[in-house]
Amino acid sequence: QVQLVESGGGLVQPGGSLRLSCAASGFTLDYYAIGWFRQAPGKEREGVSCINISNVTTDYADSVKGRFTISRDNAKNTVYLQMNSLKPEDTAVYYCAKTYGSSCSRLSHEYNYWGQGTQVTVSS
The predicted-structure confidence for 69-91, as pLDDT tens digits, reads as follows 999 998 899 999 999 999 999 99
For residue 123, CA distances in Å to 11, 18, 42, 96, 109 come to 7, 13, 18, 23, 31
DSSP 52: -
Q: How far is CA 19 from CA 33, 37, 43, 58, in A?
A: 19, 14, 23, 17
**What confidence tens digit (pLDDT) does each residue in 26-43 have?**
988 778 899 999 999 999
d(CA 78, CA 46): 21
Taking 80 as the threshold, does the pLDDT of residue 54 lie above it?
Answer: no
Q: 114 or 58: whose pLDDT is higher? A: 114
Distance CA 101, CA 88 (A): 34
Residue 18's pLDDT is 98
Average of per-residue pLDDT across 44-71: 90
Banded pLDDT at 57 (limits 50, 70, 90):
confident
Cβ atoms 115, 26 nearer than 8 A: no
Question: How many C-beta atoms surround the C-beta of residue 12 within 10 A?
Answer: 18
d(CA 70, CA 89): 19
What mean pLDDT comes out for the span 16-32? 91
Mean pLDDT calculated for residue range 2-30: 95
pLDDT tens per residue across span 86-105: 999 999 999 999 999 888 98
